[in-house]
Amino acid sequence: MTLTSPRKLDHIRITIDSNVSHDGASTLFEDVTLVYKALPEVSLNGVDASIEFLGKKLSAPIMVTGMTGGHAVAAKINCAIAKAVEELGLAMGVGSQRAALENPSLSYTFSVARKCAPSAVIIANIGAPQLVKGYGIEEIRKAVEMIGADAVAIHLNAAQEAFQPEGDTDYAGVIERIRDVASAIEKPVIVKETGHGIGLEAARLLRAAGVRIIDVAGAGGTSWIRVEQYRARAKGNEMLATAASTFSSTGIPTAQAVVEARWAAPDACIIASGGVRSGLDVAKAIALGADIAGVALPVINAYARGGEEAIRALLERLVTELRIAMFLSGSGSLAELRGADIVLGHRLLSIMKARGVEPELYLNGPRVL
Ligand code: FNR
């Protein structure tokens, strides 16, 4: 095993066995109300939640965001997720492929996703710090080819790395490296956070660097600061564990991140993730300006509970809830859901104003896909 693999296995164990949700931040989806329509003027059976993403048709705007790979257990998890998304017409990402780039004998733990989902949208994954440490277009191409990917996600995880004694904390020059990749690679580039959120400033920089797809992965779901806190405590590093609790509310809540990313990058494809736990959350995110929603932690928990079948049941529930939310808001299509009536709570409204997003303009302005 490479150095990366045992740590990744640690992460999976911790996320399954412990409470790793943000304890100091929420998604702020509770501040978004989809207005109920007693006369929806659509039929539930006629609701069309399908969308085109990366040149393929998804039955609903839902993806499982990248989590794992690099060891035998991860291969099983990737195949289970892949089978479920293939059957349901959804999309998935694999976890960081660094382990397999360092040790090609681990490639199968990622490529199994394509084997188990021959036609689904599958997304490759590499960490941004690796771009600074010397990964270039060649490594990104290898990662894409390894899994027959439809796109590559570059993940940002500064908040996590800061709480790892062995963390890759050099983010100087990352945006230039992302620009290099986005201009050279043949596949679309997604830049994603990992649970602490992409806000206005980062979204603006990314769009200017040529990135067209942004997964905001905001705060309110999995907290990597919290995951690292468990690891620090298990290793007897109380100082780092206490420092982690100081930052328990750090991050941009997902609903805020969606608004900010959409405001900063009106023509980008915005993926809403981080604490998306129901199809109603998905619907709220889309009404707020996202194109697609992503979910991670509940999928790994479902796998631990009941393998592929439990993953399928979870994803089916999300799709069903989304369709009901569309029906009850009078939205026959995702385009209609994007324009559905919503009411925002004081907290989100005041954050929008403080961040220079004008609510009237935002809610009534053009939302370009
Ligand atoms: C992740 N996530 C992640 N992201 C990434 O880009 N590369 C990776 O290797 C991983 N690894 C990983 C492992 C596990 C066990 C989890 C739960 C998550 C982050 C993930 O894609 C997502 O952005 C966050 O978890 C926030 O979404 P949820 O979990 O709140 O739905």
pLDDT in tens, 312-362: 999 999 999 999 999 999 999 999 999 999 999 999 999 999 999 998 888
pLDDT at 55 > cutoff 90:
yes
Q: Is ipTM strictly over 0.90?
A: yes
For the chain, give the number of residues: 369
pLDDT tens sequence across 259-290: 999 999 999 999 999 999 999 999 999 999 99
DSSP code for 57? E
Average pLDDT, the chain: 95
Quick check: helix, strand or coil at residue 248?
A: coil
Tokens of 81: 């997720």
Task: Give pLDDT, residue 1.
Answer: 39
Q: What percent of the chain has pLDDT over 70?
A: 97
Q: What are phi and psi of 129, to 5 degrees?
A: -60, -30
Tokens of 306: 């009941």
DSSP code for 326? H
Distance of CA 65 from the midpoint of ligand 1 (Å): 7
Contact criterion met (CB below 8 Å) for 274 and 297: no
Task: Give pLDDT, residue 4.
Answer: 61
Band of pLDDT at residue 198, cut at 50, 70 and 90 = very high
pLDDT tens sequence across 291-304: 999 999 999 999 99
Distance CA 63, CA 53 (A): 10
Between 20-34, 43-57, 316-330, the lowest mean confidence (pLDDT) is in 20-34
Residue nearest to atom 19 of ligand 1 (CA): 194
Contact criterion met (CB below 8 Å) for 350 and 44: no
Task: Give pLDDT, residue 10.
Answer: 82
Cα 134–Cα 251–Cα 125 angle in degrees, nearest 5: 35
- Of 281, 277, 294, 299, nearest to 337 by C-alpha is 281
- pTM of the full structure: 0.96
Residues with CB under 6 A from ligand 1: 11-12, 15, 65-68, 95-96, 125, 153, 155, 192, 194-195, 217, 221-222, 273-276, 295-297, 300
- In which region does residue 191 sit, left (phi positive, over 0), alpha (psi from -120 to 50) or beta (all else)? beta
- Give the per-residue SS3 of 192-211: ECCCCCCCHHHHHHHHHCCC
Q: At what angle do helices 279-288 and 254-264 cross, to 10 degrees?
A: 30
Band of pLDDT at residue 155, cut at 50, 70 and 90 = very high
Quick check: helix, strand or coil at residue 293?
A: strand
